[in-house]
Structures are given as structure tokens and as C-alpha cells.
Amino acid sequence: MGTLPSPQQLRYLATLAELRHFGRAARACRVTQSTLSAGVLALERQLRVALIDREVGRRLVFTPAGLRIAELGRAALESLDAIQQAADASRVPMAGPLRLGIIPSIAPFLLPGLLPELRARFPDLHLSLSEDLTERLVAKLAAGQLDLLLVAMPCACEGLETLALARDPLLLALPPGHRLLASPEVEIAALAGESMLLLEDGHCLREQALAVCRQDSGWAGLPRDQNPRFSASSLHTLVQMVQNGLGVTLLPRLAIESGLLAGTQIGVRPLASRAGWRTLGLAWRPRSARASDYRAFASLLRFGGLEVGGVPDGGADPEGESAVNEVPAG
């Protein structure tokens, strides 16, 4: 057997395959560009195979062998990291680095209460946060850039281990003086003809809101690719749009009970009959050595008045319904 690649060589290659740029990959690895280039070249000579196609000019193009070896290298690095994590976990639970990914419709409403408790309970835990859309967080988790995700289910989390934690109902937010405020609860059919304000494409809450509207025959023709007149990049912007009478929207109860509507005159009503909800939960790579830490982390999460527990892994409801009433993955 020849000399095996070093973890450093594999890290250079895997990072370069992910970022497709020598300069950015070098910065991510905290080395100079010449050091990274020399490391990849040395790996090619050691393996006696071309990893990068140098016949295509200035563009960075991997050979098929290079892509495969980069993939295997990333898996090897994850295994090495798991060895260190297992050793750390055996000494002190909830210690060392923990890279948490969290979606924007959860982060500002859950973190203010969570972070002080984490610091008090686990002073040896070094938490770093990445706020992003679900799809990108899942990709970062798969690439070994994150350890744990806090997301809304169902999500595109195939192949990951998940732990559902709480049901978060979606409530109807109405502008001041809106006619539907006269009702204690609102039928979905009553929303026909209303301007439904949504988050921008890529936010799972957008698809969840659309799926709730499609439950009624009055909205059955609503296309999946509907582009409303107005969309927002955050829940706070969405609230201001409703406050100014641009339309109605669906908001998670977690956000509302965390003060999202403070300073507005927006009215909130539950939806009648099959009201929608999302399930808040954690996701991590399968067979992680830190699974016990992640479950301990789950025990610290506080969801206010939400229904906690009783929601099986995977986001299914105890009665067998989808966690967000057949909402598509997002």
C-alpha cells in the first residue's frame, strides 16, 4: 500500500471542490493560495492521477477522478472528525465546538432565550450560528460545515436523523379594520380574493402558507409557481406590509408570541377546520457520535405556548396527518 493522503491534503481538495476557486478555498483553509495549490499538486503526484483538468484554460475544472476522490476525501474527514467528537463527548458532554444552522423564521424568536441558558448550563460549549434557508443549511450539513440544524419540518432532510420537537400553528394576520376580524376564526374559503402576502422563493414558510390555502376548493387553482404582487425577504418586512394594508398573510405562532407584532395594530385569527401548522425540529448526520449532545440540546429549547412533545420523529402528527397538512418539503 502506498502512502496515504494526509487529512490536510484531503481538506484542501474537498474545500477546492466545494468552492471551485483557489483563492476562496485557500482563505477557507487559512493558508496561502500557493500553499493550497502545492498541496493539491503533491496529492496528484502521490496518487499518480490528475485531479484537475489543466487543459481548459483559466477555468477550474475537476476531472471525474478528482470529483470522486474529493467526495471520498470529504467522507474521510467526517469520519476523522467523528473520532474526535466521540473522544470529546466521552469526557465532557456538551463541550467543544457546535456549529448550529437555523432558518430565519425561527432564529430571532428562539435564540434570545436560548443563548443565555446555553452559556450558563454549558460553559465549555462553543456555539457558532449560521442563519440561512433550509436547502443551503442541509447542503452545509452534508458537507461537514455544520453539525446540527434547527428547521421547520417537513423539509428536504432525506438521509438525516431528525427529532421533531413542537407544533407551531400558522395564524392569519389581518390589517387593522379588516372585515375578517369580525370572526373568531376564519374559513380558508373566506380568503379567496384576498391578496396573500408571502415570503420570497426559497423560504419553506412560503410553501407552507400556499399549501394551507390550497386545502380549500376555493383556492384549488392556485398554481405552485404563483408570484404575488408583493413578497418579502423576512417576517418583519411581511408584518409591515400587512400593517400598511397591502394584504393578509400567515404567520407562525412562535413568532407572534415572541413579539413579532409589537407596535402594530395587526389582528390575528386562527383558521377554522384544517388549520395549518409546521413542526419545529432538529436534524443531524446519521450515526453522529454527538447524537446524545444533540438530544440534550433539544431539552433546552423553549417554545412558549406551543404544543411540545407527542410529535414523532419525521414530523408526523399522532393522528397520522402531515406535520403541516401535506405541505410540500421545503
Which pLDDT tens digit goes with each residue over 140-193?
A: 898 888 999 999 987 778 889 999 999 898 899 999 999 999 999 998 888 888
The answer as to whether 284 is a domain residue is yes
Q: pLDDT at residue 323 above 50? A: no
pLDDT number for residue 304:
64
pLDDT number for residue 327:
29
Task: Say yes or no: 152 and 220 in one domain.
Answer: yes
Q: Which residue has the higher pLDDT, 103 or 315?
A: 103
Task: Say yes or no: 191 and 294 in one domain.
Answer: yes
Residue 6's pLDDT band, with cuts at 50, 70 and 90, is very high
pLDDT number for residue 268:
94
pLDDT number for residue 43:
94
Neighbours of 91 (CB within 10 A): 9
Task: Say yes or no: 112 and 250 in one domain.
Answer: yes
Q: Please give the residue range of the domain that contains residue 34.
A: 7-87
Q: Which residue has the higher pLDDT, 122 or 305?
A: 122
Q: Where are the beta strands (DSSP E) in the chain?
A: 52-53, 61-62, 96-102, 125-131, 148-153, 161-174, 198-199, 231-232, 249-252, 267-269, 277-284, 307-308
Q: pLDDT at residue 324 above 90? A: no
The dihedrals phi and psi of 188, each to the nearest 5 degrees, come to -60, -35
pLDDT number for residue 308:
63
The residue out of 52, 87, 122 marking a domain boundary is 87
pLDDT digits (tens, 9 = 90+) for 230-282: 678 889 999 999 999 999 999 999 999 999 999 999 999 998 865 688 889 99
Q: How many distinct structural domains can be found in the chain?
A: 2
Report pTM. 0.66
CATH classification of the domain holding 185: 3.40.190.290
Task: Say yes or no: 69 and 96 in one domain.
Answer: no
Task: Say yes or no: 81 and 106 in one domain.
Answer: no
pLDDT number for residue 196:
87
The answer as to whether 261 is a domain residue is yes
**DSSP per residue over 36-74, as a string?**
HHHHHHHHHHHHTS--EETTSTTS-EE-HHHHHHHHHHH
Task: Say yes or no: 266 and 245 in one domain.
Answer: yes
Instruction: Return d(Cα 175, Cα 184) in angstroms, integer.
Output: 15
Q: Average pLDDT over the chain, rounded to whole?
A: 82
Task: Say yes or no: 113 and 149 in one domain.
Answer: yes
pLDDT number for residue 224:
42
The residue out of 58, 87, 116 marking a domain boundary is 87
Q: pLDDT at residue 316 above 60? A: no
Task: Give percent of the chain above pLDDT 90.
Answer: 42
Q: Which residue has the higher pLDDT, 114 or 211?
A: 114
Q: pLDDT at residue 50 above 60? A: yes
